[in-house]
Amino acid sequence: MSEQQRRDLDEMLRHAPLDVGGDVAEARAVFHAMMTSIPLPPDVTTTPGRLGGVPVVTVDTPGSDPSHVLLYFHGGAYAIGSAADAAGLAADVSRRVGARAVCVDYRLAPESPFPAAVDDAVAAYRALLDQGISAARISFVGESAGGGLAVATLVAVRETGLPQPSSATVFSPWADLTVSGASATSKAAVDPALTQEALRTRARDYLGPTTSGTEPLASPVFADLTGLPPLLVQVGSHEILLDDAVRLAARAAADDVRVELQVWPQVPHVFQSFAVMLDEADEALESAAAFTRAHWAAAAEATAESSAEAAPAASLLP
């Protein structure tokens, strides 16, 4: 992997105009400008719509299989970003997996504090199921706050009794809104994108005055993750959220969840967004796509075996 690529990316992010913890309206405008400054490839189609009353953007790439869905949760510290802003990375994942992506435009803080984002995510997932798409053919993908939201949604889905999707992949998840991980301090100097102060500001916006941040659906590092589907966690070593990813994976392992943790050295927050300029990003996305496809295949095999076992019993019926 290229040391020069990593240096160039670090320099670019350190001089980016975005202040994650600044004025919300300004941060949203700057983030949108940054995320849309590079046009989507001409073969990517984005279609606005609604799922369960929640706005979504469906992202299709050539050859994408509409019978399999990536339910995608964008980043932005729960206060900035949108489904449309995430279309670029969602399309990259979609292309590699070979399935359509549905980006959830969940409500943002401070206008809509916790648990609005979780409620919207569950509603969108439930609507996919109601459309007849099997849970075994759905996978969750989330980046940053969307990564934490993806896991929180899995917990909420379990509590509602809905079937779990086949897997979930999270990029640099913000999984602890108390910002209590040791890397929040130890990695501050090498993280070119995020600061403790910015995350604490956005956490206050999302949590409101009465929520502590230790609630399982706000910070899944504190949740019981028993019964969740296979989980892939990817994170860079040059980000203050490193410990969020490590602790989330450890929590999943302790709760008997099949989990893979991939720590990529000397790369920043959501480095997967920079596959056009960073070899590690390309390799990470290929790994995520392989993980997703493998668990779709495993789910299909399990369904086929279950049907085969049920067939003889059915033939005995009068």
Look up residue 282 and give its two tokens: 């390309």
Residue 227 CA to residue 224 CA, distance in Å, equals 9
Q: Among this protein's residues, is 269 annotated catalytic?
A: yes
b/e sequence 21-44, b meaning 16+ C-beta within 10 Å? beebeebbebbbeebeeeebeeeb
- Beta strands per DSSP E along 84-243: 99-104, 138-143, 167-171, 231-236
Residue closest to 241 by CA, chosen among 119, 143, 165: 143
The phi and psi torsions of 71 (rounded to 5 degrees) equal -85, 115
Q: Which residues contact 294 (CB under 8 A, 6 or more apart)?
A: none
| Angle, CA of 184, 115 and 271, to the nearest 5° | 40
CA–CA distances in Å: residue 200 to residues 53, 171, 180, 245, 246: 30, 20, 10, 17, 20
**Residue 261 near residue 172 (C-beta atoms within 8 A):** no
Q: Which of 239, 273, 280, 295 is catalytic?
A: 239
Q: Among this protein's residues, is 144 annotated catalytic?
A: yes
| Angle, CA of 140, 145 and 149, to the nearest 5° | 45
SS3 170: strand
Q: Which of 64, 82, 139, 144 is catalytic?
A: 144
Give residue 235's region: left, alpha or beta (phi > 0; psi -120 to 50). beta
Look up residue 13 and give its two tokens: 């992010």
CA–CA distances in Å: residue 138 to residues 15, 112, 274: 38, 27, 25
Q: Among this protein's residues, is 295 annotated catalytic?
A: no
Residue 240 CA to chain centroid, in angstroms? Answer: 17
Catalytic center residues: 144, 239, 269
